[in-house]
Amino acid sequence: MLKTFNKGGIHPAENKITAGKPISTLPVPPIAIIPVLQHIGTPANPLVKKGDKVKTGQMIASGEGFIAANIHSSVTGTVTRVDKLTDASGYKRTAIEIETSSDEWMNDIDLNPGLVTDVSLSIPEIMVRTWDQGIVGMGGATFPTHVKMVFPRGIKAECLIINGAECEPYVTADHRLMLEKGEEIMIGISIVKSAIGIEKAIIGIENNKPDGIENLQRISSRFPGITVQGLKVKYPQGSEKHLIKSLTGRAVPSGGLPIDVGIVVFNIGTMFAVYEAVQKNKPLIERTVTVTGKSLKNPSNFRVRIGTPVSELIKAAGGLPDHASKIIAGGPMMGKALNTLDVPVTKGMSGLLVLDDIESKRKPVQNCIRCTRCVTVCPMGIEPYLIMSMVEKEKCEFLDDCHINDCMECGSCSYICPANRPLLDYIRLGKARLKKRKQQK
Amino acid sequence: MSSTILYTIISLSATGAISAVILYFVAQRFKVYEDPRIDQVEDALPAANCGGCGYAGCRNFAEACVKNENLSGLFCTVGGNETMSKVASILGVDAVSQDPKVAVVRCAGSYDKRPRINIYDGPSSCVLQSILYPGDTGCPYGCLGHGDCVNACDFDAIHMDLKTGLPVVIDEKCTACNACVLACPKHIIELRKKNKKDRKIFVCCINEEKGAIAKKSCEVACIGCGKCVKACAYDAITLENYLAYIDPVKCVLCRKCVGVCPTNSIHEINFPPRKNLDGTDATVDVEIVENL
């Protein structure tokens, strides 16, 4: 039986045009730009300086503090600068630029393509590996994985949920991983399961990937404790809280974390990264990116090195089409439009979407007619139209009562609004105003 | 008939009288003492309720003045020194005086000087655009031009110039209440000391990028060459992060730095036209004044 969450949600056109395209490995880029902040938390501290020679897989920036992650070089070459360079946010942040010479990997990395099924490491060693190799959540939020694997004292997790929903339209990176790296993902899940002492793991996959469900179900019969559960297609099912609601019926409290209801959630891509880190000692220097768009010549799924400039990906997908007007890092719902093609692929970039001028055009904004469709579709149960009018009238004192910070910015309200009102934009503005107001107090 | 009216009058009068007595004693019992000086101070204040002093309104500020007993850290920029001396005389304390200030927009990246490299089609708000990305020009520091500062101004002292896409401050109306400074997400607007005849010399740029990068995105950016620092005989100009800054207190308005700036990013405003040695007007500086 297929499950789903009960409150809100929308059904945008799926447009998974790259679902049938196998993952192809992109050649090593001539220049890699590796930002030191690719995760949630404090930026990593650069360990290299201009002129240093680095090898593929060498640590070039170390995470400082608990919520942080190490950064590794994804290419072999010479560091040309450690400077403030534009990242996907558009702002300039510290990054390490490396000019590639060859592709020489660190000696301790296992490059043998064969599957390693036996886990030889002890639990503390597994924890250290995930920290050392800079593993972060690959779904987009990029929360450091080692942080999620350690619980506050006295709290015990009961269930591990693996997020294979991939509810964003267009993006198929996780779908292809399920089909091509099913075994590795399963081993990754059992590693995490044993490391955090949980018996039960559920993989939630949306029903628009029947081949993915079938493949993982077939493999999971060999792995006790792991079940695969199909989900009804509904956006934003890939949100942590909604996936938990769909699979277990538990509701994470407002402002709370999944661990509050005894659940830990990881992404499919993260599990593959954990497998590579623990079994092959390979740091997180590659990821799967879906380069897609209806106007692209060759939309496809690529395995690319972190730090590859986005322009290289577009080139590999057939070059920028004539009428391209918007390039989005991530999916169309929650992704971020880029203002230059020089930005690098980071650990959290799951897709790259090229929209032409007709697709990306905003329609004229009309008046709100109180149809409450935004309220109906809001998966968090807040009232976007009300928040928008509060923000427009600068009544910031009511925003907290409207639970504005529960908003996860999924964009369902803006998508559904028949008057084309930019609801999400105003919610973001309200969040910023509220934050400033609290700081001033 | 007449008795009904009579009884009504008597009963209502009695109720009224009894209520008056009760209310009198209640009012005595729960009387709130309020310093009469608060009202006096409030009357002396400009009643703009702009919040520039850091308090919610003029009444709030008056309460703070009376409560604090001295005026250190309390200043009404709208009323200025005159108002504050009145307040001080009411309270019988020493007046605090401050140099009058005026808001200055430190960006000159107009449409023709700073080309747009992408199109922003979201809601018109500087704060929102700056959350999303640095802006539609190559300069991540520059003015976004949606006019959050204009909306913040209670005194109609700042407006957008549609030709340049930059805000313009009307010096006579500006009260230095700080509202626009707080509203600007790019921190372009600065409060600077008001000089004689509203004369101003300032670096009209806040771009902290290296010269070549800054110049590429905007013709009139400060490139951090340091020529103005050398030209200044009064040690008023500092160079930090490839950006020059003129200290408004040390600056004596000699205008030596204006001529040496290779990108014309130092602006002189409200000065008489400069005479060259042969007696002709030096038009280059006048042009800058006109642009603003």
- Taking all residues of chain B, what is their mean pLDDT, rounded to a whole number? 88
Sorting pLDDT into bands at 50, 70 and 90, what band is B32? confident
Same domain, B250 and B277: yes
Residue B286 has pLDDT above 70, yes or no: no
Is B75 inside a domain boundary? Answer: yes
Same domain, B139 and B169: yes
Domain count of chain B? Answer: 2
Same domain, B44 and B176: no
Is B134 inside a domain boundary? Answer: yes
Same domain, B84 and B179: no
Instruction: Answer yes or no: do B122 and A425 touch at CB < 8 A.
Output: yes
Q: What is the CATH number of the domain that holds B50?
A: 1.10.15
Same domain, B127 and B217: yes
Rounded Cα distance, A69 and A47, in Å: 13
Q: Which domain holds residue B141?
A: 101-291
Is B114 inside a domain boundary? Answer: yes
Same domain, B75 and B191: no
User: Which residue's structure tokens are 């300032």?
Assistant: B202
Mutate to test the interface with B, among A339, A368, A397 (most CBs of B within 10 A): A339
Sorting pLDDT into bands at 50, 70 and 90, what band is B189? very high
Is B27 inside a domain boundary? Answer: no
Sorting pLDDT into bands at 50, 70 and 90, what band is B285? very low
Sorting pLDDT into bands at 50, 70 and 90, what band is B276? low
User: Which residue's structure tokens are 């204040």?
Assistant: B45
Q: What is the pLDDT of residues A70-116, one digit of tens each?
A: 999 999 999 999 988 888 888 889 999 999 998 899 988 888 888 88
Sorting pLDDT into bands at 50, 70 and 90, what band is B280? low
Burial of B222 (0-12, 13-18, 19+ CB in 10 A): buried
Instruction: Name which of A92, A339, A428 is nearest B131 (Cβ-Cβ).
Output: A428
Is B151 inside a domain boundary? Answer: yes
> Which chain B residues touch A422 with a CB distance below 8 Å?
122-123
Same domain, B208 and B158: yes
Kindly report the nearest CA distance between residue A13 and chain B, in angstroms: 23
Is B8 inside a domain boundary? Answer: no
* CATH 3.40.50.11540 domain extents, chain A: 123-280
Rounded Cα distance, B238 and A11, in Å: 57
Same domain, B201 and B247: yes
In this prediction, residue A141 carries a pLDDT of 83
Question: Which CATH superfamily includes the segment(s) A123-280?
Answer: NADH-ubiquinone oxidoreductase 51kDa subunit (3.40.50.11540)
Crossing angle for the helix pair A423-440 and A384-392, to the nearest 10 degrees: 60
Instruction: Answer yes or no: do B123 and A426 touch at CB < 8 A.
Output: yes
Q: What is the pLDDT of residues B39-57, one digit of tens each?
A: 999 999 998 888 888 888 8
DSSP state of A413: H
Instruction: Answer yes or no: do B128 and A433 touch at CB < 8 A.
Output: no
On whether any CB of chain A is under 8 Å from the CB of B240, the answer is no
Rounded Cα distance, B107 and B220, in Å: 9
Candidates A399, A413, A411, A388; CA nearest to B125 is A388
On whether any CB of chain A is under 8 Å from the CB of B116, the answer is no
In this prediction, residue A153 carries a pLDDT of 79
On whether any CB of chain B is under 8 Å from the CB of A409, the answer is no
Candidates B241, A382, A11; CA nearest to A390 is A382
Same domain, B52 and B195: no
Q: Number of Cβ pairs closer than 8 Å across A and B? A: 41
Is B1 inside a domain boundary? Answer: no
Instruction: Answer yes or no: do B127 and A89 touch at CB < 8 A.
Output: no
On whether any CB of chain B is under 8 Å from the CB of A441, the answer is no
Enter the ipTM.
Answer: 0.87
Instruction: Answer yes or no: do B122 and A422 touch at CB < 8 A.
Output: yes
Sorting pLDDT into bands at 50, 70 and 90, what band is B292? very low
Same domain, B166 and B283: yes
Same domain, B219 and B269: yes
Rounded Cα distance, A347 and A35, in Å: 10
Is B163 inside a domain boundary? Answer: yes
Candidates B167, B177, B173; CA nearest to B58 is B177
Q: What is the CATH number of the domain that holds B253?
A: 3.30.70.20
Q: What is the pLDDT of residues B1-10, one digit of tens each?
A: 689 999 999 9
Residue type for position A37: L
Same domain, B108 and B243: yes
CA-based angle B149:B155:B156, to the nearest 5?
65
Q: Dihedrals φ, ψ of A33, to 5°?
A: -110, 115
Residue B283 has pLDDT above 60, yes or no: no
Crossing angle for the helix pair A123-132 and A182-196, to the nearest 10 degrees: 120
* Rg of chain A over all Cα atoms, to the nearest angstrom: 22
CA-based angle A401:A406:A412, to the nearest 5?
115
Q: How do beta strands A351-356 and A286-292 pair?
A: parallel
Closest alpha carbon within chain B to A335: B132
Q: Residue-wise pLDDT tens for chain A (441 aa)?
A: 788 998 899 999 999 999 999 999 999 999 999 999 999 989 999 999 999 999 999 999 998 888 899 999 999 999 999 988 888 888 889 999 999 998 899 988 888 888 888 888 888 899 999 999 999 999 888 999 998 888 887 888 899 999 999 999 999 999 999 999 999 999 999 999 999 888 899 999 999 999 999 999 999 999 989 999 999 999 999 999 999 999 999 999 988 889 989 999 999 999 999 999 999 999 999 999 999 999 999 999 999 999 999 999 999 999 999 888 899 999 999 999 998 898 999 999 999 999 998 888 889 999 999 999 999 999 999 999 999 999 999 898 899 999 999 999 999 999 999 999 999 999 999 999 999 888 877
> 3-state DSSP call for residue A330?
coil
> Which chain A residues touch B209 with a CB distance below 8 Å?
92
Instruction: Answer yes or no: do B128 and A89 touch at CB < 8 A.
Output: no
Burial of B60 (0-12, 13-18, 19+ CB in 10 A): middle
